[in-house]
Structure 1
Amino acid sequence: MDMKIIFHLGVHMTDEERLLRCLIKNRDVLSREDIAVPGPGKYRALLRNTLVELDGAPAAPQAEQALYDQLLDGAAARRLVLSSDSFLAQPRWSLNRDHLYPSAAERCPQLMNLFPSAKVEFHMAVRNPATLLPALAQTVGEDAFQTLLQTLDPSQLRWSDTVAMIRKACPGAPITLWCDEDTPFIWPEILRAVSGHSEGIRLGHTYDWFKPVMREEGLQKMMSWLSSHPPETEEQRRRIVAAFLDKFMAEEVSATPALIGWTEDTMDALTELYEQDIDQIAEIDGVTLITP
């Protein structure tokens, strides 16, 4: 079977399932190009249990075919999109030993071994540790997170280390990355990179992404403006989105650095290191970085 498997790895506190929900809403359109996007209930427990059974070994041909049979229900497909922000680790195990997702070098080969005959790609967002860590603190609980902080130095966290680990462990698997902070401006490009649909296809529900971050009034005005004034270039579309986000950003209760005892100076220093880190990622062979 000539199959390409796309593992969308999340990560935690970035996508919040919005990519998967959008692709599922466009499942009929994508299926016409033999792109399969099964619902998460069909595969997350299945893959988790299969990983335990395989214990790192490649699936035998019969086992691999059994996975396809359960995932595809007999549908023709050349590309299969699977998404979970816990493919690499559960939230409380996402940080350790001054590394972001230290288990990535072990987990990614295991994911590839589920489908040994397929071509595998990894896709994921990265997020500024200055905002990622406070958000994770809210998820895992302050006490557990304070214990975790004792085992690491936030200034040593580098996404480039994680990406390099994956590339070394899985040299044949291309990696596509983007910064979570850039997502509203490059959302159509992200969707197309993950799904692999043709340029001529326009997905529906793409602006659902903005519902949690933009006031309803602003979202309606933005969609109306884009409909009546179709942007001629991607750069024009991004400027329009930026303008509406700036004016109609929703009020939200977000994680703050004070939650884990950080000052604004700490935030600024970590942000500067993150920006330098993104430059390093762009230089890694086999990595595609989607940018505005």
Structure 2
Amino acid sequence: MQVIIHAGAAFTDEGHILSSLVANRQMLAEMNTAPMSLRMSRQFVKIMSDALIQGTSIDETRDSLAPLFPQDVNLERVVLSSDKFFGPRRTALQHGQIYPFAGRRTAFTETLLEGAQLELFVGLVNPGLFIPKTLMSIHEDHRRDILASTDLSCLSWVSMIEDLRELAPQFKLTVWENENLPLIWGDIVRAMTGLPSETPLPDEYSFLTSLLTDAGQRQVQEILGRRTPLDIQGQREELAQVLEDQARPEQVEEELDLPGWNTDIFDAFTELYAQDVAAIRTMSDIRVL
């Protein structure tokens, strides 16, 4: 069996990918693929996390996980989604790293699911947004401890990716920039589920249109409705231009509430983020959508 894990990160798709998987459940069933519900996905992560912390035996943990998987002998692929897979938000910025326990938790999952074909999907996001949103979402005591012990300027995604490659080599790794999610949502879902690349999804651009003005939504429908469409790259470029020109500010602009977090800091992290993504793209064993 193939087990596909969508591990977030936090503040990326906000549940849109899992919603799309559930909405397309019938089509996926024809491919012998099943999405695990949000409740079951959370239970999977809780059992895995508790076992790792408490030292529960592998056999006992596997027994606890077994009921979470659909009992269908024809099933070939299960997809689960949880932005807590790498750890709770209070642990996401520690030890000079983003998600410092991601490698260890993924490696433990690799042991628990021995014999399965494993894939890990991760949406990356600009640390200039991820860091302040994470800090403001956790308890003040945890936030104070992190600010006192962690050099935020050193945080990047590359260290996490390197840990995943080193500690959990059996996982095939796919990443993308969350900023591109409205345009590549369909590609992500198809990659997760094994659907052929040309398979249309009814809701493929619903997230994109939800971000747009009425005029922008009409432009998207015009682009998608052409009898002779552009090649996929040309179409994406047109859609990206519509998103840039017609996005509703309240849908795409982020409030950075962390005291002292200003535009200069955000711009510096944006530059570092671009360097991180460029470095990750050079890693031959990682798929970047």
Q: Which residue of 1 aligns with 2:207?
A: 209
Q: 1:116 to 1:51 in 2, by over 3 A?
A: farther
TM-score normalised by structure 2 residue count: 0.88
Do residues 42 (structure 1) and 40 (structure 2) align? Answer: yes
- Structure 1 residue 30 corresponds to structure 2 residue 40: no
Alignment of 1:52-201 (within 5 A): 52-53=50-51, 59-60=58-59, 64=62, 67-74=65-72, 76-140=74-138, 144-201=142-199
User: Cα distance 1:53–1:267, how it changes in 2: closer, same or farther (>3 A)?
Assistant: closer
Instruction: Give the secondary-structure state (helix, strand or coil) at the position aligned to 2:196.
Output: coil
Q: Give deviations 1:84-128, integer Å, cap 9, x for gaps.
A: 000011112110121000011211012223321201111101111
Deviation at 1:285, TM superposition (A): 4.2
Distance of 1:79 and 1:251 partners within structure 2: 39
C-alpha distance in structure 1 between counterparts of 2:46 and 2:141, whole Å: 28
Return the offset for 1:129: 0.7
Asked whether the equivalents of residues 58 and 113 of structure 1 are also in contact (C-alpha less than 8 Å), the reply is no
**Whole-Å Cα distance in 2 between the matches of residues 170 and 288 of structure 1?**
16
Give the SS at the match of 2:118.
strand
Identify if the C-alpha distance between structure 1 residues 258 and 86 changes in structure 2 by more than 3 Å, giving closer, same or farther: closer
Query: Is 1:7 matched with 2:5?
Result: yes
Q: How many residues align?
A: 287
CA deviations over 1:130-158 (Å, ceiling 9, x no partner): 12122223422667535422222222112
The amino acid of 1:271's aligned partner reads T
Q: Could you tell which deviates more after superposition, 27-36 or 210-219?
A: 210-219
Determine the C-alpha separation between the residues in 1 that align with 2:35 and 2:182: 22
Give, in whole Å, the separation in 2 of the partners of 1:259 and 1:28.
43
Q: Which runs of 5+ in 1 are unaligned?
A: none
* Identical columns (%): 27
Q: Shift of the alpha carbon at 1:288? A: 1.2
Residue aligned with 1:72, SS: coil
1:257 shift after superposition: 4.4
Counterparts of 1:262-273 in structure 2 under 5 Å? Answer: 262-273=261-272
1:275 aligns with 2:260: no
| Structure 1 contact 164–284 (Cα < 8 Å) conserved | no
For 1:229 and 1:139, the matched residues in 2 are separated by 46
Structure 2, unpaired ranges of 5+? none
TM-score by length of 1: 0.87
Closer, same or farther: CA 50–183 of 1 in aligned 2, 3 Å: closer
Partners of 1:7 and 1:81 within 8 A in 2: yes
